[in-house]
């Protein structure tokens, strides 16, 4: 029986209270309490309150109303007597909860022999007038500390050593078959990357990670190479990776706490790059404050847009630098025994490294809908 089966006069009588003067009080959490009976519940639609529907259909008893309108009837329904509509969990949130549901707390893994964090690698130039960024003043990461970190590789036509690929950009694994990077990394020197090295391992030790061929690259349709707006791209791999993923940060606000930037790039401006994965701690900065640093530079001719994020280090010692755009900016949050990595941004561009000016990152929360539509559109 629907709400319409209860007459309007009976609705109004229920709203004012049952015979005997039943009235309701409410607390700050939205719970309702009757003054003359042991009724404590929540105001829900009559049709969603199983106990109220049964009492009316089988016993002819009126519910205690919270609110009545010509279109709807809300009743004080005892706790346990109603079913609230299930929240639709976004696919990226669901895959994150599955990945970190029952994992133990963080462990320090032993480092295999043969990994040399002090090794140097090739220097790859950035974009003219708008420098691609990488880690300066960073410290080495532990083996398998960031398993979702990726390096995008370009096949070398004439390998100088045993290395078949030049790793010029970073990325981050967000689903078993998908890597996020920045749009300006989709073509470097007129060529697109052909492989992704996953696992946050040394670049000259690809056997320690997963080297997977790239099947397809989808840059954001509104990427602007001049302003670097919408600097985002999605990489589909030929097969699933077995490494852990990082989760997408869905909230517009970024907590004022340390963020971890990852990259393989130069350790100082115009200096050598690093084969080892490095990390630095940076802090988010308000976009209006950020614009002050770039006002006298052609690197940013306007205030950062809603899809961009500023982060830096006030001491000027730590920064992302040239050589590996697309690496993630990570916020770690503790949920019980599980430490979950959330991607706040992707390294996009900046000025000279480690000079006190912040770097510009692609703000992931602004693009979650686009990312989910690309991966889980069906």
Q: How far apart are CA 89 and CA 97, in angstroms?
A: 10
Residue closest to 63 by CA, chosen among 84, 39, 27: 39
Contact criterion met (CB below 8 Å) for 100 and 336:
no
pLDDT band at 202 (very low <50, low <70, confident <90, very high): confident
pLDDT tens profile 203-231: 877 677 899 999 999 999 999 988 889 99
pLDDT (mean) for 324-334: 91
pLDDT of residue 322: 53
Name the more confident of 129 and 352.
352
Q: What's the chain's average pLDDT?
A: 77
pLDDT, residue 120, reads 26
Cα gap 234→377, rounded to integer Å: 14
pLDDT of residue 86: 64
**DSSP letter assigned to residue 125:** -
pLDDT above 90: percentage of residues in the chain: 34
Strand 210-219 and strand 338-349: the pairing is unpaired
Give the CA-trace dihedral at 126, 370, 153, 265, to 10 degrees.
40
Residue 328: its pLDDT value, please?
95
- Give the residue-averaged pLDDT of 44-62: 85
- Catalytic residue numbers? 184, 231, 325
CATH architecture, domain defined by 92-102+122-376: Beta Barrel (2.40)
Burial class (CB within 10 angstroms; exposed 0-12, middle 13-18, buried 19+) of 252: exposed
Q: What is the mean pLDDT of residues 113-142?
A: 41
Mean pLDDT of 132-152: 75
What local confidence, expressed as pLDDT, does residue 101 receive? Answer: 80
Whether pLDDT at 119 is above 60: no
Say what angle helices 91-99 and 368-376 make with each other, to 10 degrees.
80
pLDDT band per the 50, 70, 90 thresholds, residue 305: confident
Lowest mean pLDDT among 146-160, 180-194, 223-237, 264-278: 264-278
Q: What is the pLDDT of residue 58?
A: 84
Question: Is residue 292 within a helix (H) or strand (E), and if so which, with residue range?
Answer: helix 287-294
pLDDT of residue 176: 96
Domains in the chain: boundaries? 3-78, 92-102+122-376
Most confident of the following: 64-78, 99-113, 358-372: 358-372
């Amino acid at each position: 029986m629907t709400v319409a089966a209860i007459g309007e006069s009976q609705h109004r009588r229920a709203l004012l209270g049952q015979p005997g003067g039943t009235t309701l009080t409410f607390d700050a959490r939205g719970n309702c309490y009757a003054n003359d009976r042991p009724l404590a519940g929540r105001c829900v639609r009559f049709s969603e309150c199983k106990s109220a529907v049964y009492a009316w259909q089988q016993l002819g008893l009126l519910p205690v109303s919270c609110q009545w309108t010509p279109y709807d009837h809300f009743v004080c329904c005892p706790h346990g007597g109603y079913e609230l509509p299930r929240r639709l969990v976004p696919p990226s949130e669901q895959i994150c909860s599955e990945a970190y549901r029952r994992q133990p707390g963080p462990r320090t893994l032993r480092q295999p022999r043969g990994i040399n964090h002090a090794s140097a690698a090739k220097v790859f130039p950035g974009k003219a007038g708008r420098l691609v960024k990488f880690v300066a003043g960073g410290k080495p990461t532990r083996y398998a500390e960031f398993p979702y970190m990726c390096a995008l590789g370009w096949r070398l036509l004439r390998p100088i050593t045993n290395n078949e690929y030049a790793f010029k950009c970073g990325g981050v694994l967000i689903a078993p078959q998908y890597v996020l990077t920045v749009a300006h990394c989709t073509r470097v020197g007129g060529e697109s990357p052909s492989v992704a090295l996953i696992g946050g391992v040394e670049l000259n030790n690809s056997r320690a990670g997963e080297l997977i061929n790239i099947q397809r690259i989808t840059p954001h349709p509104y990427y602007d190479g001049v302003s670097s707006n919408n600097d985002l791209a999605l990489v589909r791999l030929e097969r699933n990776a077995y490494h852990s993923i990082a989760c997408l940060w869905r909230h517009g606000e970024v907590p004022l706490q340390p963020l971890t930037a990852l990259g393989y790039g130069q350790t100082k401006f115009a200096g050598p790059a690093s084969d080892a994965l490095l990390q630095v701690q940076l802090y988010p900065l308000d976009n209006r404050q950020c614009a002050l640093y770039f006002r006298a530079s052609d690197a940013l001719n306007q205030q950062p847009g809603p899809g961009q994020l500023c982060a830096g280090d006030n001491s000027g010692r730590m920064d992302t630098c040239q050589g590996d755009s697309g690496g993630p900016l990570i916020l770690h949050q503790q949920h019980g025994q599980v430490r979950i990595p959330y991607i706040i941004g992707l390294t996009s561009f900046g000025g000279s490294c480690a000079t006190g000016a912040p770097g510009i990152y692609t703000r992931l929360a602004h693009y979650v809908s686009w990312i989910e539509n690309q991966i889980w559109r069906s």
